[in-house]
Amino acid sequence: MKIDKDLAQQIVDQTIEVLGRNINIMDKNGIIIGSGDKKRINTFHEIAARVVKEGRTIEICPEEAGKFYGVKPGINMPIIFGDSIVGVVGITGDPNEIRNYGKIVKNMVELMLRQFFLMKEIEYKNDARNYFIRDLLDENYKDIDSLVSRAQIYGFDLDVSRAVILIEIKNANENDLRNLEQSTEQMAGFFTSEDVVTPLSANKLVILKKQQEFFKPGADFSWVYKIKELLGNKLGAEVFIGIGNPYKGLEGIRSSYQEASLVLKVISKLKDFYENGVARVTDLGTDYVLPFIPPSVGWSIIKGLFGTMEKAKEIFEDHKLARTFDYLMKSNLNVNQAAKRLFIHRNTLLYRLRVLEEKNGLNLQRCSDAFLFNFAYRLYRYLKGE
């Protein structure tokens, strides 16, 4: 094990703050790699080299210091990690005055080293687990045997039915995104030990959620909105959550991830239609096909329905009329209910529909025409990315 300079200086600074005396940390070659006296860093300490070689504490009194290269009065002690000497810690000063500090400083330094490497080990394990989840979701990763072996190592049961919940944070600044990991810790109460939460990128989180009752139709989904609210408030950003169906097995998890990704693509472009910013793949209806339509084909469909792009734009950019139609669809073509939800008189709604019908030549109270217009409107909005 090797102590790097940044870690050595960090330990030195923290120890000096507690002790109030200068200390140095030397590597196994006797080179000072951390010190309260910055001018001594990268210089050779002859006594430190002897401490490593002989494996014992060496004290240097003031009258002896000049006899050795790069040495001042003090106590120099081996740093033990496991069964090995990994460096030397020295306290500057008259040994008679600082001797009582020696054992305390040695123990402090060794404790901080153990804590640091324990944290590094935990961080390494978390990183390895995160890479496993990313490979698990990546359909281009073909080493299935490796994934199965790694799943066993991390205790990830591929036979459990899980749904992928994909969270995307938009319009957050870089500083806020640094709080993302801390935010995931605050979400822990929503999950069981069999669920997995891991970052996919700087602004995306993935949750592999074990199938439970709330995936059934009509189930309580309030926990998802609480997560959205928590992240939105914490990061001061737009949050979108896409949810795939629950499946078993490797291919099932990948399918659920593809579904969740597709949901995110749709709801982030059709914000007005998904005002909560949360949707399951089963909520998309005909919107499911929108990402599969190439833009050139999509624009051709719209142009074919309305004759010219100018006419389509005139219709779809009139947000008052478009919103009226949207609420008519949300009310299952029930004029009275749609008017009530819009807080307008029934006759006002009928007038707006007539205006729309005159512009596009469709009967919007007839199911087939309403479906056609609705599809074209949503396709237009999706292609515009609004």
Q: What is the DSSP string of 132-187?
A: HHHHHH-TT---HHHHHHHHHHTT--TTS-EEEEEEEEES--HHHHTTHHHHHHHT
Assign 84 to helix, strand or coil.
strand
What's the confidence (pLDDT) of residue 46? 93
Q: What is the mean pLDDT of residues 289-313?
A: 90
Assign 332 to helix, strand or coil.
coil
Better pLDDT: 242 or 120: 242
Could you read off the pLDDT of 269-295 as tens digits, one per residue?
998 888 889 999 999 999 999 999 999
CA distance 240 to 265: 10
> Confidence class of residue 180 from pLDDT cuts 50, 70 and 90?
low
Report whether pLDDT(215) > 90. Answer: no
Report whether pLDDT(49) > 80. Answer: yes
What's the confidence (pLDDT) of residue 4? 85
Of the candidates 66, 76, 65, 67, the one whose C-alpha atom is nearest the C-alpha of residue 32 is 76
- Among left, alpha and beta (phi > 0; psi -120 to 50; other), residue 333 is left
Could you read off the pLDDT of 323-373 as tens digits, one per residue?
888 888 888 888 899 899 989 999 998 998 888 888 878 887 788 888 888
Better pLDDT: 347 or 184: 347
Compute the mean pLDDT over every residue in the chain, rounded to the nearest whole number.
87
Report whether pLDDT(216) > 80. Answer: no
CA distance 255 to 244: 8
What's the confidence (pLDDT) of residue 219? 67
What's the confidence (pLDDT) of residue 347? 93
Q: Do residues 206 and 165 touch, judged by C-beta distance below 8 A?
A: yes
> Confidence class of residue 320 from pLDDT cuts 50, 70 and 90?
confident
Report whether pLDDT(35) > 90. Answer: yes
> Confidence class of residue 101 from pLDDT cuts 50, 70 and 90?
confident
What's the confidence (pLDDT) of residue 379? 94
> Confidence class of residue 167 from pLDDT cuts 50, 70 and 90?
very high
Residues of the chain above pLDDT 70, percent: 94
Report whether pLDDT(81) > 80. Answer: yes
What's the confidence (pLDDT) of residue 281? 93
* Helix, strand, coil percent values for the chain (each to nearest 5): 55, 15, 25
Could you read off the pLDDT of 109-136 as tens digits, one per residue?
998 888 888 888 877 777 888 888 999 9
> Confidence class of residue 142 from pLDDT cuts 50, 70 and 90?
confident
Q: Do residues 52 and 85 touch, judged by C-beta distance below 8 A?
A: yes
Residues of the chain above pLDDT 90, percent: 35
Domains of the chain, first to last: 5-116 (3.30.450.40), 159-288 (3.30.70.270), 293-385 (1.10.10.2840)
Q: What is the mean pLDDT of residues 55-67?
A: 90
